[in-house]
Amino acid sequence: MLVGYIRVSKADGRQVTDLQRDALLAAGVEAQHVYEDAASGRRDDRPGLSACLKALRQGDTLVVWKLDRLGRDLRHLVNTVHDLAARGIGFRVLAGQGANIDTTSPNGKLVFGIFAALAEFERELIVERTRAGLKAARARGRVGGRPYKMTSAKLRLAMAAMGQPETIVGNLCTELDITRQTLYRHVGPDGSLRPDGRKLLGAVVSAGGSDG
C-alpha cells in the first residue's frame, strides 16, 4: 500500500497542500492514506508525521513530494528512512533533487545510499569544526562551550547586592540576565566570592583592566 505525507511550512494559509496532494494522488496514493502537517520542518512535534509513521506496515511505501517535506535535516531524513527500511517499508520521492529515490528499486537504493554518505560526511564536518573551534578557544584561554553571561561588572553588582538582606535573588538574576546557577557559581549568599568569581576577577586583573 502507498501512504503519503505532505507538509507546508506555514499554518497561516499562505501555503496550501494542493500541489503536493495532487502529486501524491497522481502517483497512486489514495486520499484516505494521505497524512499532513502545517509546521516547520525543524519542529519535532509533527502529529501528522507521527501518525503516518505509525500507520505504515511492512510492505508499504511512504511517498512524499520532495525530500524536504519529510526530514528536519539530512541526518534526520537518513535515519527516518533507515528506520523504515528496518521495518520493511519503502520510501519514494516524486520531485526535486531526490526524485530518483525509490528504496523499493535497486537504482533508488543506490541514490539514497549517496544521500546517506553525504549525511555521514556532514556529521564528520560538524565534529571537525567543533573540535577546531574548541582548540582555538583553548588557545585564547577559554575552556570551550558557550561563553559565560557573567562579566566582571555584573559580578561586582552581584557581590554588593547579595550582601544586602533585602535582595531578592530572582529579581537580581533577571536584572543581570543570568541564571541562579551562574550567580551561585560566582557569588555566595553573603556576597562572598566563589571559585568561578575569583577566577573571573583574576582573569580581568591579569589582563590589566576590567570590563566594567
Q: What is the dihedral of CA 104, 107, 109, 113, to 10 degrees?
A: -170
Mean pLDDT for the stretch of residues 158-164 = 84
Can you read off the three cell numbers belonging to residue 29?
496514493
**Averaged over 183-193, what is the pLDDT?**
91
Q: Name the residue with higher pLDDT: 107 or 114.
A: 107
Separation CA 212–CA 39 (nearest Å): 44
- For the chain, which residues make up each domain, given as ranges? 2-121, 152-206
pLDDT digits 0-9 by tens, 22-79: 999 999 999 999 999 887 656 667 899 999 999 999 999 999 998 888 877 777 777 8
What's residue 52's pLDDT? 95
Taking Cα atoms as reference points, which of 120, 121, 122, 70 lies closest to residue 95?
70
Helix axes 106-139, 74-86, angle to 10 degrees: 140
Angle between helices 169-176 and 152-162 in degrees, nearest 10: 160
Indicate the length of the chain as a whole number: 212
Nearest to 187 by CA among 147, 150, 212, 148: 150
Give the pLDDT score at 156. 85
Q: Does residue 61 contact residue 92 with C-beta atoms inside 8 Å?
A: yes
Active site annotation includes 9:
yes
CATH match for 2-121 among 3.90.1150.10, 3.40.50.1390, 3.65.10.10, 3.30.2010.10: 3.40.50.1390
Residues 6+ away with beta carbon under 8 Å from 2: 27, 28, 29, 30, 33, 60, 61, 63, 92
Q: Are 90 and 84 in contact (CB under 8 A)?
A: yes
Q: How far is CA 200 from CA 102, 140, 189, in A?
A: 57, 15, 18
Q: What is the DSSP letter of 50?
A: H
